Structure 1
Amino acid sequence: MPVLIFALYAVAEVAALIWVGSALGVLPTVGLLVLGSLLGGYLLRREGQRGMQAIREAQRQGLPAQRHRQADYADVALRTGGALLLLVPGFVSAVLGLLLLLPPTRWLLRPVLKTVVARRVQVMTTNAFARFPGMGPGPAGGAGRFPGGHRQGGYGDVIDGEVVDVHDEGPSGPPRTPLTS
């Protein structure tokens, strides 16, 4: 399915390039592509800085600002995605990038992004719990912890011991001859 979507996107980009090229000519079309990429690079830098500043500010506000932080994270992701799409040479990607930079479009896509990210995080944590059994929800309702606060291990009991260097006691086999070159 992703290959089909990418193929359709490539066909749409080529069709848009041919259409704009036939309407404006070669040099204006190339100029528009370069201008769009330069604008995308500038916006990527600006939106990245603004986004990180908004995230830092939301984190300073503490836990009561949880919803505010989620909105900031979603807006940062959508604005950065829009700038990245502008950076990619092409008219279809430029239009999609500009749409992501508009506030009404971001408002419409924010719940979709949150749903997609929540599903992805759920799949990733489920896979992690399956791969590392001691990390999942454990007995007593804790995240992988027993009532005494000890972590639940997936590899058996821990036995205290002492390391003894056997080379101090002498060789345990036939004498070895050193390798020389």
Structure 2
Amino acid sequence: MRFFILVFIILPALEIGVFLLSGKTIGVWNTVLIIIFTGILGAFLTKRQGLEVMRKAQDAVRAGYPPGDVLLDGICIFLGGSLLISPGFITDCLGLILLLPPTRKLIKPLLIKWFQRWIDKRTIYID
């Protein structure tokens, strides 16, 4: 429930504040152009990196290895691309963190711990 409050109430309010500040600081049209640019960049990076992850996952399965790490990369890329495509500077920053490979390497251990806690609480079942 807390997650939904954060995503649907607090984050949009913060984004509106940043939009207003940005519009006042760099101008409305520059703000709009930046939002459009980051959306296009997000779509491009997501497609490029997503195809690469699919290829790596297929290679891992063909070699007989579980594609766990590659699938986690895919989740990060999907979430990062979705955040970049959605309008907003805060979501753009979070999206870039998830899309860029060096920062994604720092995020993946945190995601693994989060998934492990989810499994330990028995809210996710793996058969």
**Do both proteins adopt the same fold according to a TM-score greater than 0.5, normalized to the shorter chain?**
yes
Match status 1:116 vs 2:117: no
Output the TM-score relative to the length of structure 1: 0.61
What corresponds to 1:158 in structure 2? none
Separation of aligned partners in 2, 1:115 and 1:74: 12
Unmatched tracts of structure 1, length 5 or more: 127-135, 137-181
What corresponds to 1:13 in structure 2? 15
What corresponds to 1:162 in structure 2? none
* SS, match of residue 96 in structure 2: helix
> How far has the Cα of 1:4 moved from its partner?
2.5
Q: Pick 1 or 2: higher relative contact order, CA cutoff 8 A, min separation 6.
A: 2
> How far has the Cα of 1:108 moved from its partner?
1.8
What corresponds to 1:101 in structure 2? 99
Count of residue pairs brought into register by the alignment: 123
Which of 78, 86, 89 is the aligned partner of 2:84?
86
Q: Are the aligned partners of 1:37 and 1:87 in contact in 2 as well (CA < 8 Å)?
A: yes
Q: Are the aligned partners of 2:45 and 2:99 in contact in 1 as well (CA < 8 Å)?
A: no
Output the TM-score relative to the length of structure 2: 0.84
The residue type equivalent to 1:2 in the other structure is F
* SS, match of residue 125 in structure 2: helix
Unmatched tracts of structure 2, length 5 or more: none
Over 3 Å counting, the alpha-carbon distance change for 1:125 and 1:3 in structure 2 is: closer
* SS, match of residue 124 in structure 1: coil
What corresponds to 1:125 in structure 2? 125
> How far has the Cα of 1:3 moved from its partner?
3.4
Q: Are the aligned partners of 1:47 and 1:80 in contact in 2 as well (CA < 8 Å)?
A: no
Separation of aligned partners in 2, 1:125 and 1:36: 37
Alignment of 1:21-170 (within 5 A): 21-62=23-64, 65-66=65-66, 69-120=67-118, 122-125=122-125
> How far has the Cα of 1:119 moved from its partner?
4.3
Separation of aligned partners in 2, 1:85 and 1:60: 32
Percent identity between the two aligned chains:
29
* SS, match of residue 123 in structure 1: coil
> How far has the Cα of 1:50 moved from its partner?
1.2
> How far has the Cα of 1:118 moved from its partner?
3.8
